[in-house]
């Protein structure tokens, strides 16, 4: 075992001890559908929202993954502050991280927000919960990160906002599209690149399920769980190898979002400026023409 691995394991252990300590400290606890939500009394409103989200989403998750949460309950902790979140996660996560799942210990930690946005919290919770369901099927085998994150985004009811569309359009125009295999280094990306990686992963899984039906994800996971190679399984279940699939996803994204790069603020600003200049030019021209008409009339008198 290398020194790095030993250090990492030690840090993880410390994080786990702090996690257990925080759970004991927090008073509010609700059990539902294979999960235990834990937080401070102050966060009881948020927790009750999340309980509703878990209950209403459970049937959809069970159909999609083909099984219920089983075994040790999943502990979902909402720390009291961003500081506590960083302490539990041992400062190893990037600043943009909004939540984390430790699949082996079946725990989810959600970063508390400055203000409570139920939709945003719901999206993050469902995203992390999808990682747990996925790991329950394949553990201890792994799938590429774009696939794992894409499934999590897909199950979080993600929709592509205008802002997302512009970000994707810009990435295509500026040739910053990320190769699927590079998404494995996601945790080392800055916020903008990470956001793009998540979006690409989501659009890949959306394309995959649109073409092959949502059940294809479960079929791939169940075969991968028997230690078959991910690339071979992907080919068997979709009739397409990963290179062709990635090419198709790129073509679809290119068709749907390239044009949106024109909607970014800079372009809109210049389009409005040009329209203003043209409008002023015509107004002045019209006024001058009217003046000449008046002078002509005066001369005729
Ligand atoms: Zn994730």
Specify the CATH number for the domain of residue 63. Answer: 3.40.30.160
Of 116, 140, 164, which residue constitutes the final position of a domain? 140
The Cα 197–Cα 129 span in angstroms is 19
pLDDT band at 108 (very low <50, low <70, confident <90, very high): very high
- Let me know whether 135 and 211 are in one domain: no
How many whole angstroms from 289 Cα to the centroid of ligand 1? 65
Q: In this predicted model, what pLDDT tens digit does every residue of 157-212 receive, in sequence order?
A: 999 998 999 999 998 888 888 999 999 999 899 999 999 999 999 999 999 999 99
| The pLDDT value given to residue 277 | 78
- Let me know whether 242 and 270 are in one domain: no
What DSSP character marks residue 262?
Answer: G
How many whole angstroms from 282 Cα to the centroid of ligand 1? 54
Is 56 or 13 the better-scoring residue by pLDDT? 56
| The pLDDT value given to residue 6 | 55
- Let me know whether 127 and 27 are in one domain: yes
How many whole angstroms from 107 Cα to the centroid of ligand 1? 13
The Cα 73–Cα 110 span in angstroms is 17
**For residue 56, is pLDDT > 60?**
yes
The Cα 287–Cα 293 span in angstroms is 10
Greatest alpha-carbon pair distance for the chain in Å reads 105
Query: Rounded to whole angstroms, what are the CA distances from 83 to 80, 159, 301?
Result: 8, 30, 85
The Cα 54–Cα 65 span in angstroms is 15
How many whole angstroms from 121 Cα to the centroid of ligand 1? 14
Backbone φ and ψ for 272, nearest 5 degrees, come out as -65, -40
Residue 284: domain span? 266-301
- Let me know whether 11 and 117 are in one domain: yes
The Cα 260–Cα 56 span in angstroms is 34
| The pLDDT value given to residue 116 | 76
Residue written as tokens 């989501």?
A: 202
- Let me know whether 73 and 179 are in one domain: no
Where would I find the beta strands (DSSP E) of 88-182? 99-102, 107-110
pLDDT band at 141 (very low <50, low <70, confident <90, very high): very high
| The pLDDT value given to residue 300 | 61
The Cα 65–Cα 231 span in angstroms is 20
Average pLDDT over residues 127-135: 97
Is 193 or 260 the better-scoring residue by pLDDT? 193
- Let me know whether 3 and 119 are in one domain: yes
| The pLDDT value given to residue 33 | 86
pLDDT band at 3 (very low <50, low <70, confident <90, very high): very low
- Let me know whether 92 and 190 are in one domain: no
How many whole angstroms from 93 Cα to the centroid of ligand 1? 12
pTM listed for this prediction = 0.81
pLDDT band at 232 (very low <50, low <70, confident <90, very high): very high
- Let me know whether 196 and 295 are in one domain: no
Is 284 or 68 the better-scoring residue by pLDDT? 68
77: alpha, beta or left? (left if phi > 0; alpha if psi -120 to 50): beta
How many whole angstroms from 7 Cα to the centroid of ligand 1? 24
How many whole angstroms from 297 Cα to the centroid of ligand 1? 76
Average pLDDT over residues 251-270: 78
How many whole angstroms from 126 Cα to the centroid of ligand 1? 10
35-39 sheet: strands from edge to edge:
28-32, 35-39, 74-77, 107-110, 99-102
How many whole angstroms from 31 Cα to the centroid of ligand 1? 23
pLDDT band at 1 (very low <50, low <70, confident <90, very high): very low
Angle at 149 between CA 178 and CA 209, to 5 degrees: 95
Of 124, 140, 156, which residue constitutes the final position of a domain? 140
| The pLDDT value given to residue 25 | 66
Q: At what angle do helices 118-138 and 215-225 cross, to 10 degrees?
A: 40
How many whole angstroms from 35 Cα to the centroid of ligand 1? 18
Number of domains in the chain: 3
How many whole angstroms from 146 Cα to the centroid of ligand 1? 9
Average pLDDT over residues 91-111: 90
Facing residues of 99 across strands? 110
- Let me know whether 32 and 133 are in one domain: yes
Facing residues of 39 across strands? 28
- Let me know whether 114 and 157 are in one domain: no
The Cα 12–Cα 301 span in angstroms is 97
How many whole angstroms from 278 Cα to the centroid of ligand 1? 49
How many whole angstroms from 223 Cα to the centroid of ligand 1? 22
Q: In this predicted model, what pLDDT tens digit does every residue of 70-82 receive, in sequence order?
A: 989 999 999 988 8
Of 140, 160, 188, which residue constitutes the final position of a domain? 140
- Let me know whether 211 and 300 are in one domain: no
Is 115 or 54 the better-scoring residue by pLDDT? 54
Q: What kind and span of H or E run contains 288?
A: helix 265-300
Interacting residues of 172 by C-beta distance below 8 A, sequence separation 6+: 253, 254, 257, 258, 261
- Let me know whether 160 and 30 are in one domain: no
* Mean pLDDT for the chain overall: 87
Q: Decide: 200 and 164 in contact? Cβ < 8 Å.
A: no
Q: Decide: 15 and 90 in contact? Cβ < 8 Å.
A: yes
């Amino acid at each position: 075992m290398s020194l790095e691995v030993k250090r990492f394991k030690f840090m993880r252990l410390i994080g786990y001890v702090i996690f257990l300590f925080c759970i004991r400290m927090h008073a509010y606890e609700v059990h539902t559908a294979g999960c235990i939500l834990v937080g401070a009394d102050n966060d009881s409103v948020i927790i009750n929202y999340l309980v509703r989200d878990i209950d209403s989403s459970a049937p959809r998750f069970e159909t999609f993954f083909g099984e219920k949460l089983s075994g040790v309950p999943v502990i979902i902790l909402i720390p009291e502050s961003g500081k506590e979140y960083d302490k539990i996660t041992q400062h190893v996560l990037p600043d943009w991280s909004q939540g984390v799942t430790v699949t082996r210990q079946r725990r989810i930690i959600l970063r508390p927000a400055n203000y409570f946005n139920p939709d945003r919290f719901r999206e993050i919770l469902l995203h992390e919960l999808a990682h747990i369901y996925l790991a329950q099927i394949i553990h201890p085998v792994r799938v590429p990160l774009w696939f794992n994150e894409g499934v999590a985004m897909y199950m979080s009811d993600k929709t592509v906002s205008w802002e997302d569309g512009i970000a994707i359009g810009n990435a295509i125009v500026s040739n910053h599209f990320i190769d699927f295999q590079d998404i494995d280094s996601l945790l080392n990306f800055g916020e903008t690149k990470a956001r793009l990686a998540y979006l690409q992963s989501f659009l890949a899984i959306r394309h995959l399920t649109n073409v092959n039906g949502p059940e294809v994800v479960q079929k791939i996971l169940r075969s991968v769980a028997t230690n078959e190679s991910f690339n071979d399984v992907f080919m068997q279940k979709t009739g397409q190898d990963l290179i062709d699939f990635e090419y198709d996803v790129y073509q679809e994204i290119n068709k749907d979002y390239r044009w949106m790069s024109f909607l970014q603020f800079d372009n809109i600003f210049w389009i409005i400026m040009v329209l203003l200049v043209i409008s002023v030019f015509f107004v002045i021209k019209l006024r001058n023409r009217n003046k000449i008409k008046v002078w002509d009339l005066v001369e005729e008198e």
